[in-house]
Amino acid sequence: MTHPLWAPWRMDYILGPKPDSCVLCLPPDDLSHDEERLVLYRGKTAFVIMNKFPYNNGHIMVAPLRHVMDLPLLAAEESTEIMELLKQCTTILREFFKPQGINVGLNLGEAAGAGIRDHLHFHLVPRWNGDSSFMAVMSETRVIPDHLASTYTKLKPLFARLRPGQPA
């Protein structure tokens, strides 16, 4: 038995043009599309972006600004900033969403589940007891309770207060 789920924002992806370039590579001096791309924060060597196809509400990613695909290829400065952003993102997600847990992960390579295998990125996914309800178990469907644009608007001010090297 199928269970339809209305998700009108997916039509933009289905009908829209697919980029030939890396979807995680940001133009360095052009911030004009950051809201459209769901970029929450740009640091010196890394950035925070919302996942356009989230596993759960509040699913965000931390990635290096430089196009790099493997951990050993990160410069020390990139590794440090990414770890600091992961810590700060965890604080913000806990504050805003009040989850009972957070999955933090990195998929290296297609076999490991990397959907964007050529640009390293860490996932942070807020979790709540029972969020894998009957929808996910019975019909392999996730319910995202807030529209991406609405969540972005709510989260953006929290990321605006971030300063490199400072706690959230």
What residue ranges define each of the domains in the chain, with the CATH number in brackets? 8-160 (3.30.428.10)
Q: Would you give per-residue pLDDT tens digits along the chain (168 residues)?
A: 454 545 555 566 566 666 678 889 998 888 889 999 999 999 999 999 999 888 888 999 999 999 999 999 999 999 999 999 999 999 999 999 999 999 999 998 888 888 788 899 999 999 988 776 444 444 455 666 678 888 999 999 999 888 765 555
Active site residue 67: no
How far is CA 39 from its chain centroid?
9
Residue type for position 120: L
Query: What is the enclosing helix (H) or strand (E) of 42?
Result: strand 39-42
| pLDDT number for residue 143 | 62
Structure tokens at 115: 């959907």
Of the listed 3, 33, 119, 121, which one is catalytic?
121
SS3 35: helix
pTM of the model: 0.81
Query: Do residues 104 and 86 touch, judged by C-beta distance below 8 A?
Result: yes
- Distance in angstroms (rounded) separating the CA atoms of residues 30 and 76: 25
Say how many CA atoms lie within 13 Å of 74 toward its Cβ: 19
| pLDDT number for residue 140 | 54
- Distance in angstroms (rounded) separating the CA atoms of residues 90 and 30: 27
Q: Is 51 annotated as a binding residue?
A: yes
Q: Is 67 annotated as a binding residue?
A: no
30: Cβ–Cβ under 8 A, 6 or more apart, which residues? none
